[in-house]
Structure formats: structure tokens, C-alpha cells
Amino acid sequence: MTTVLTIFLAIFVVLALINLIAGRLPKRPPAGGGIVATKRGELHYLETVGEGPPIVFIHGMPGLANEFDPVRKTIGNRHMIAFDRPGYAWSQGKPLPFAEQLDAIVEASNTLGIERAMVVGHSFGGLATLGLAIRHPEFVDRMLLLAPAAGGTRIGQPRMRQARLIQFFELPVVRQIADLVFLRLLRRSASRQGAAASYGENPETEKQRYLAESVLASHNSIAALANDRLIFNDAERLVSGNLQRIAVPSIIVHGEHDETVPLRNGKRLADALPNSSLIVVDGDHQLPSKNTAEVVAAANALLAV
């Protein structure tokens, strides 16, 4: 019995060492930007000071404010704010229901002096932008929707089960034990694969790939991702059932080769959303980093309306 226990402990120690060493995440870069307090937690933001109508950027699932860096640097002299959505990256607080996420973005924007803005949303951020136009019509002046996760987009049962499993491993005590034995290695592997799948290996997206590997594999971002998956289908149905209430000018930009949110969903949304137009580009789902020029052109066209 003693021999069996010794072997078991030895295997445990070896697995723990492999997990701790091979599962070490890349060093997180400094957050930059600022932090704004809301009733639902602190939100991290990146701000560009400029003129004209303000622009608010909302990232996807997962994602972070920095994914819009190429757009913000190219778009010109505009007042722009990109948020880390609640729970993601450097934003604090527990994962929130869909409506409370929207309220937090509006509250944070108001605190930073923005009462009304053009809202740019990518993927889940596009769904959130549509939700803002329904729930806070006073805030949304116009919408630029980049591969929006709408138009009948659904999270399937396998990913829902995965999200529930993630929530289990994020429970107190369970997380500490799992982190010691295997979870770090799993997070490291998943973050590396996800970053490579999203951004490829080209030098132009190296920064986005590094941020995805170092920041989005943190526990708070993973918990936020699991929450978003579990609330997504209900949020999409809510938005789709209220599209006729949205009257602001909108442009939808969609990649022809998007496998995450198929182009047919973008076309379906464009047909149902009043006062909208659809621009199809030669790209996939990562439009802000890979199709920056087309995104900026669409933003300027929308600002000119």
C-alpha cells in the first residue's frame, strides 16, 4: 500500500511540475489606458482624444479593447473609447447578464463624458451594440457592426456544455486544485491554439496574437467567456425580436469567408434591420485586425451620413 501511495504521489508531483512549468502564460503587458468605476464593477478602457462625434468600440467573445488598435490608429482625429467588456482582460467584477453588461458600458461612457456615440461592435460586440440600440436608444447615434453575432447565430450544445464545465472549474477550491494539477497547461494550450486560429501567423497580427495568449487566458476572462456563451442564445433571440425598434443608420461589414458567423447570418440581419446596408469583404471573422482599411472606410462613410 505504501508503495502504491508513493507511486501515486510521484506521478502527482510530476504532473504538477509539468503543469506549472509548461503551462506558464506569457507575461501580461501593461494595461495602459484607464479604469472607470461603474455600479457593476470597474471597466478598463483605451481612449483617443479627438474631434467630432465620439466612437465607442465593443469587442467580441472572447476579446479585449486592444483588438481595435489598428482601427483607432487609422481612423483619424476622432474621440474614441474602446472598452474591455465586464470581466474581460483588465476589467474587473463578476460576469454579468446581457442587460447589465449594456448598462455598464453606457454608465462608463457617461462617466467619461460621452452621452451619445457611434458604436462599433465586433462579433458578440455587434450583438451588444444592437442590444444597446434597443435598451439605450438615447446613447446610440449610429452603428458599425463587424461580423455581428446576430441574424440567427447560435451557440451549440457542445460549447454550452464546455461553458458549464469551465464554470465548475472556476469554483473556489476546485480552481486552486485544478490549477495546480492540469488547468494551467490546458489554458496555455487553448490560448495558443485560439490565438493562432483567430489571427494566423503573419507579422501584422503578432501583437493581437500575443495579447490573446497572455491576457485572455486569465481566469477572469475565461469566466466571462463561459458566461457569454451561456447567455448568448437568449440575448440573440431578444435582439432579433426587437430589430424593428432600431432606426439609427447602420452598416454591417462581413467577411465572405467567415466561419465563426457565416455570411448568410449577416445577410439575414441586413434584411431585418431597418436603415442598414451590408458590405461584404474578402476576409474572415477578424475584421478589425485583418481588414482594417475596409473597416475604417465603412466607419468614415457612416460618420458622413
The model's pTM is 0.92
Helix (H) or strand (E) holding 82: strand 78-83
Interval 63-103: pLDDT, tens = 999 999 999 999 988 999 999 999 999 998 888 999 999 99
The fold for domain 1-305 equals Rossmann fold (3.40.50)
**CA distance linking residue 222 with residue 167, whole number of Å:** 9
Interval 135-164: pLDDT, tens = 999 999 999 999 999 999 999 999 999 999
In the chain, domain spans: 1-305
Angle between helices 124-135 and 219-240 (to 10 degrees): 50
